[in-house]
Amino acid sequence: MTTLNEQISAFEAKRAANVAAMEAIIAKSADEGATLDTAQQEEFDGLDADNEAIDGHLKRLRGLEKALLSKATPVTGVKDSTTGASVRGGIRVEVKGQNLPPGTAFARYAMALAAGKGNLMQSAEIAKGWRDSTPEVETVIKAAVAAGTTTDTSWAKPLVEYQSMASEFVEFLRPQTIIGRIPGLRRVPFNIKIPRQTGASSASWVGEGAPKPVSKLAFDTIELGSAKIAGIVVITEELARFSNPAAEGVIRQDLADTIVQLMDRDFVDPSKAASAGVSPASITNGVTPIVASGTDADAVRADVKKLFTAFVAANMSLSGSVWIMKETTALGLALMLNPLGQPEFPGLSISGGSGGTFFGLPVVLSENIPANPGSGSPVTGNGDRIILAKAGEILFADDGQVTLDASNQASLQMDSEPTNPPVAATVMVSLWQMNMVGIRAERFINWRKRRTGAVQYIDAVKYGS
């Protein structure tokens, strides 16, 4: 039987899920500019009725919990684990788990692979040292050479644990990315054709007895193919063999930064064009920017008005849109004061990783947004960029996993832009000779704007400077 606390948590989670579903129904109708249809009304009312029943049951459960707590008596005479076991009637309770940082299990998996030099048995022996806190690491490594069926608990369970570890690493990674902090991106599968309307029908006033006009619609399809981000982090074997949390943090952060910086930069860099079969274009690629007209608050308001005008001119509602800017840009805006000493833009915030709001829309902060270097078309002035994107108009495909491999039996080009294919002048470094280990991380991810006007941005920004 589940405990009262578990039941309360389960019903609270169910209620939260119902509220989220109700919000999604209302948001969808708001985007469409219509009231709820019959099916949506029934679904909304059903969720609302379910929450009323849950509220009543939660009240009863909490009342019972309070009554039981009032009858509880304190345990006395417990000084250590031995006397505690005696009070409990000889039952000794041992807690082995730890509150480890997210991604620790995955990082230890990487360390074990690296230190084992490709020998899974040796890696499994290394992983035994973490049995008390992350036993799944040893289980996963052993599972790599096990055989069985999906109904065999000695195989299915390790596979589930691997998925959990990989997901844990992704959860550590995603909140740091621009993509991970934009709510409402339209999730789609890889390699699926999505119909898109590119032209609308027409209508006109018609006199009595006159023929009615005939028009047509235009359509095409969008497909998000499989695009891959890959990076290699090279560490010394001495670092790989360290088993203290500091070494784990270094490896985990290096793996995260390798993917975060590339994803963020290529997601918003206007100069990033699509490469067929390799990578998507940025959401700002091909967009004609609004050039910043000055540095004071009046210039900010004038530029934002131009940006909103361009957004609305593209038939884009501002509902569901988000700002994307650098922390330094947000700081410059937040520090602007009017003649009375009050903030010009009081909604902005740079505390806790949240940007607050700017002109009523949420702000996503990232220092990985590339600045305009001051040359190239169409803008010649240097400065930062402030991007406005409608999240629901950005298609996003992500398998949600990071594939990790490690080896010390390879030769690498120690270069962020390796020559392909290698030439005579290419310098290769032997990991084995240099006593180093290479850890490779790969992630499949892709994105594309559903409509071209879904993203606008202000360029050459120096507000508050």
Per-residue pLDDT of the chain (465 residues; tens, 9 = 90+): 567 777 888 888 888 888 888 888 888 888 788 888 888 888 888 888 988 999 998 899 888 888 887 877 666 666 665 666 565 555 555 555 556 777 788 888 888 887 777 677 888 888 888 888 888 888 877 765 444 444 555 544 555 566 666 666 666 666 667 887 887 788 888 877 877 766 767 788 888 888 888 877 777 777 788 888 887 888 787 777 765 555 656 776 777 777 778 888 899 999 999 988 889 999 999 999 999 999 999 999 999 999 999 988 888 888 889 999 998 899 999 999 999 889 999 888 877 557 889 999 999 988 888 888 875 444 456 889 999 999 888 998 887 777 777 788 888 888 777 888 888 888 888 888 888 888 888 888 899 988 888 999 999 999 987
What residues contact 367, with CB distance under 8 A and at least 6 apart?
A: 326, 327, 328
For residue 101, what are the CA distances in angstroms to 222, 245, 252?
A: 39, 9, 10
Buried/exposed 443-452: b ≥16 CB within 10 Å, e otherwise: bbbbbbbeee
Interhelix angle 245-268/153-173, nearest 10 degrees: 60
Tell me the domains of the chain and their CATH numbers.
104-176 (no CATH), 185-198+216-465 (3.90.1690)
**pLDDT value, residue 378:** 46
Enter the pTM of the model: 0.62
For residue 10, what are the CA distances in angstroms to 5, 44, 164, 180?
A: 9, 21, 21, 26
**pLDDT value, residue 84:** 60
Alpha helices, DSSP H, located in 293-336: 297-313, 327-334
**pLDDT value, residue 194:** 76
